[in-house]
A and B are shown apart, each in its own frame.
Chain A
Amino acid sequence: MTDTLATVPNLITLSRIMGILPVMWLIHAGADPKDAWLLWVAVVLMAISEISDWLDGWLARRMRWVSRSGKVLDPMADSIYRISVFVALVANGWVPLWVVLIMAARDLCMSEVRLLAQRANVTLAARPVGKFRAALQGVAQFAIVFAYAIGGGVITAPTELLVHGLLYIALAVTIWSVFDYAAGVGNALRRGGSMTTTD
């Protein structure tokens, strides 16, 4: 495992952050039915972002570019990207505020827990439930923008029910992941050992 910061996966991770403002703007501008085509551009950028999220982890393992910094930068970029997209969706009135408040609170709390764990020399890597949560949040926000893109800036009640169903599943797993991490962190600190994943 390398200690360098400038690895290819880390550069891909940071480029995801660069893509956030364009995606937010496209979602905002595309809310106007006249300019709903912009939502398709947002869909493409969001798809690229999801692929790059998968790609940086895959490359890191495949090319042995796994870095300790990557384990910190990847969840950071992931959270900033997802919460920012949700913020754009809240501004459009497409997602309830309280759902995003819970998701943001979880991520803000986890960032400080990671720092606490690192002081005990434990680098917290993403846990399976945490990865599942991130994937579900990604699917939910992608589905919402996709549904509005198809509907030309509006969606029908059944479609809304469907995409909000996905959103609430993502929220449920988000809450589950809080308890999962709490248990994991507690165990790791008690052992004084490491809960970094080596895969």
Chain B
Amino acid sequence: MAFEEHRANGEGVHSSRWVTLPNGLSLLRLAMTPFVVWLVLTGTPEALWTALILMIVAEVTDFLDGFLARALNQQSELGRLMDPVCDVIYHVSVFMTFLKQGWIEPWMLFVIYARDLGVPYLRTLARQRGIEIGVRFSGKVKTAIHGIAQVVVVMVALGVVQATLPGGADTVHAILLAAVVVSIVSLVDYAMAAFAKTN
């Protein structure tokens, strides 16, 4: 690959091979995206059940690829790129499909998109000043909450999970609000890390 030169200063990068199981799992998640979008748009119980199964598979592969990369010592430069790319494209696409179904409000997507697009740019800004910001805990929490929120929303649509919480709050609205809040917290966390040592 063309990325060899800077592998010397890439941390934890042990493999220049890119045909690895973790990368395959990342790609699988990306390949599943149009199917999940189509199934959620179709909206019939059969389609939503199939979507739910695929969405759970997607979340499991997201957990597995990072874990396997470390366990099998198959961390690759391409994997470092592909894992977050496939992850955000998948999650943002599913949220946008929820928008089409009227399950999420436009302003929430603004926050979610601004965070997912903005964080790599903040890391790029920091890198310009010689500060390397790795994946932070807030980013992992954000990804996990987004995955759980999407699964819960489809479960509510299927009637598996109650549409109203014990307090009377709307389940979908509450879980999506949680997803928005973790996005904001994570954005602030990365912004603080990016500007911390520069002033």
Contacts and interface: CB of A to CB of B under 8 A. Distances in A.
B99 A90 contact: yes
B116 interface: yes
Chain A interface size range: 35 or more
Contact of A108 (B2, B37, B92, B106): B92
Interface of B: 2-3, 5-6, 9-10, 37, 41, 77, 80-81, 84-85, 88-89, 92-93, 96-97, 99-100, 106-107, 109-110, 113-114, 116-118, 120-121, 123-125, 127-129, 132
A83 interface: yes
Contacts of B113: 80, 83-84, 87, 104
A15 B104 CA distance: 26
Majority secondary structure, B binding face: helix
Contacts of B96: 87, 90, 97, 100-101, 104
Interface of A: 3, 5, 17, 20-21, 24-25, 28, 68-69, 72-73, 75-76, 79-80, 83-84, 87-88, 90-91, 97-98, 100-101, 104-105, 107-109, 111-116, 118-121, 123, 186, 189-190, 192
Contacts of B117: 76, 79-80, 83, 107-108, 111
Contacts of A97: 37, 41, 96-97, 99-100
